[in-house]
A and B are shown apart, each in its own frame.
Chain A
Amino acid sequence: MTIKKNKKEKLLEILFLFFAFLSNILLVGIIIILFKESLPLFKEIKVLDFLLGRHWYPTYDPPEFGILPLILGSLWVTIGSLLVAVPLGLGAAIYISEIASTNLKEILKPAVEVLAGIPSVVLGFFGMVVIAPFLQNVFKLPTGLNALNASILLGIMAIPTITSISEDCISAVPRGFKEASYALGANRWETMIKVTVPAAFSGISSAVILGMGRAIGETMTVLMVAGGAAIIPHSFLQPVRTMTATIAAEMGETAIGSDHYFALFGIAVVLFILTLIFNIIADLVAQRFRKRIV
């Protein structure tokens, strides 16, 4: 009787263990599938030619599968988005955690959450119907669908991540640090800039890297507003095309098992590895923050 009961408990534990490992299993599954569906391409072309090739003409005859313009496109809009999101997101985080009155906090924090809740396709739509015509008029461009537009939208999307994580980190800085600074005669601003924010720095960097990972993996907004030209970007006012947008735009019209199909999975591999790296770095940095503060 007793022993039977124990067996059941043990079985349950193993069952739970399996489900706990499901994320790992799925992750491995994703890796396997991405590689399996992209490897055939590399019988045709060299990995380096794929990564560094300057021409993406998948439907030409013969086709060219160089994804350098797509990688650069992704990097441009990602960096652009950081230029938008870091100053605004971090500034707002400092304001919310250190300066804003309780009442203002009650308005600002939900506002940031609402922003986080806006679906990317709606942002993309907004970019097409509001931001694009605006940019077109201001810069006198043939089209407002370009890297700048995508950067602005991706920046807006990254702001909530950066603001809320940074705010948590800034709030987690022990009060003793600040009090010590005040006791030395520093005013609030000096304390913030020289003590609080530096103490939260690794946490904030982790938030920024996480935001970058999100931006580089974001699909719908860039698909809708980046302009879609697969050329090596030279200016933010130029249409660009990211890796994600390429997959999204072209997979629908590709025959399964064609080189084009394999190449799109190859792009996914690159994308997957990039975001993985971002995520691992963000995790490491966040760990350092926790160790320092706790």
Chain B
Amino acid sequence: MVSSIGGANLRMEVKNLNFYYGRSLALKNINMGIENNKVTAVIGPSGCGKSTFIRILNRMNDIIIGTRVEGEILLDEQNIYDPRVDVVEIRRKIGMVFQKSNPFPKSIFDNIAYGLRINGISNKTEIIDRVEMSLKNSALWDEVKDRLDDNAFELSGGQQQRLCIARALAIEPEVILFDEPCSALDPISTAKIEELINQLKEKYTIAIVTHNMQQAARISDYTGFFLLGELIEFDKTEKIFTNPSQKQTEDYITGRFG
């Protein structure tokens, strides 16, 4: 079992993580590092705990009643589950894009401005600038620049998901978590988002959960394979897909189960 790799330039670090839903142990003793300006992918069959895992990284599971975390999750060496830490601040630093695109029922502009406003930015020009910037960074600007006042729900599924990415980018997080962002999208939209993730890693640290192994192989630098709540193997993506050290990993990537 490989615990953490690289080690040189870790942005986040998961140490001895156990996670409980009520009394049942959903994740067992996870150790893993998330390297700066790299894409770290998490793969595994459905129900293996990969979505649960990524939601632990920005404390999204706090809002689910009856969950409990043991162990440490470090962001820049600070434990985000430390009781003195402000969860709101953590979520601002660690953005998230969800499986199902979830824009607010507001205009395209207001969707992005929302995050800015709640984080205390009230200067109009600054908001306008940052909305434009994030839409450009999420490669949506050209498609929506003339219709910023339209309701976000009028966008296509792929556009909505890119809007959600823009919304996350606008508040300039340090890490962005993607929870199966393409699972509801067509191949063309998927390709756009993959390309986008590739560009984003220059500025951001990225972790992505995907059920699509090819996607993990295409876009990630590191890959972790989860099975039944355990991290079976974690290594460079190349290594995982060409020469995995665990039998279970090999079975999974060669399609023998899952």
B86 contacts A by Cβ under 8 Å = yes
CA distance A2 to B82 in the complex (A): 14
Encoded as 1 (CB less than 8 Å from any A CB) or 0, chain B from 62 to 90 comes to: 00000000000000000000000010110
> Could you say which residues of chain A place their CB within 8 Å of the CB of B89?
2
Q: Kindly state whether residue A175 has any CB partner on chain B within 8 Å.
A: no
Q: Does A6 contact B (CB under 8 A)?
A: yes
Residues 80-134 (chain B) with a chain A CB within 8 angstroms = 86, 88-89
For B89, give the chain A residue with the smallest CB separation: A2
Q: Which residue of B lies closest to A9 (CB)?
A: B88
How many residue-residue contacts, CB under 8 A, span A and B?
7
Q: Whole-angstrom distance from the CB of B62 to the nearest CB of chain A?
A: 13
Nearest B-chain residue to A6, judged by Cβ: B86
Which residues of chain B are within 8 angstroms of A140 by Cβ–Cβ distance?
none
Bound complex: CA A5 to CA B91 (Å): 15
Residues of chain A with a CB closer than 8 A to B88's CB: 2, 5
Contacts of A5 in B (CB 8 A): 86, 88
Shortest Cβ distance from residue B75 to the other chain A in the assembled complex, whole angstroms: 15
Minimum CB–CB distance for B208 against chain A, Å: 29
Please report the C-alpha to C-alpha distance between residue A5 and residue B89 in the assembled complex, in whole angstroms.
10
Query: What does the 1/0 interface line of B176-208 toward A look like (CB < 8 Å)?
Result: 000000000000000000000000000000000
The closest CB in chain B to the CB of A3 belongs to: B86
Shortest CB-to-CB span from B139 to chain A, Å, is: 34
Residue of B nearest to A2 (CB): B86
CA A32 to CA B121, docked complex, whole Å:
51
User: What's the minimum C-beta distance from B181 to chain A, rounded to whole angstroms?
Assistant: 30
Which of chain A's residues have a CB closer than 8 A to the CB of B86?
A: 2-3, 5-6
Q: How long is the Cα–Cα vector from A285 to B179 in the complex, in angstroms?
A: 42
Q: Give residues 138-193 of B contacting A (CB, 8 Å).
A: none
Q: Which residues of chain A (1-60) have a CB below 8 Å from chain B?
A: 2-3, 5-6
- A17 to chain B minimum Cβ distance, whole angstroms, is 16
Contacts of A3 in B (CB 8 A): 86
Question: How far, in angstroms, from A6 to B86 measured CA to CA in the complex?
Answer: 7
**CA distance in complex: A74, B89 (Å):** 61
Distance of B4 from chain A, by nearest CB (Å): 29
Distance from B88 Cβ to chain A, minimum over Cβ atoms (Å): 7
Closest A residue to B88 by beta carbon equals A5
Q: How far is the CA of A5 from the CA of B86 in the complex (A)?
A: 9
A259 to B81, CA, bound (A): 64
Min Cβ gap B79→A in Å is 15
B118 CB, nearest partner CB in chain A, Å: 11
Contact sample, A vs B, 7 pairs, CB 8 Å cutoff: A2-B86, A2-B88, A2-B89, A3-B86, A5-B86, A5-B88, A6-B86
Closest 7 interchain pairs by CB? A2-B86, A2-B89, A6-B86, A5-B86, A5-B88, A3-B86, A2-B88
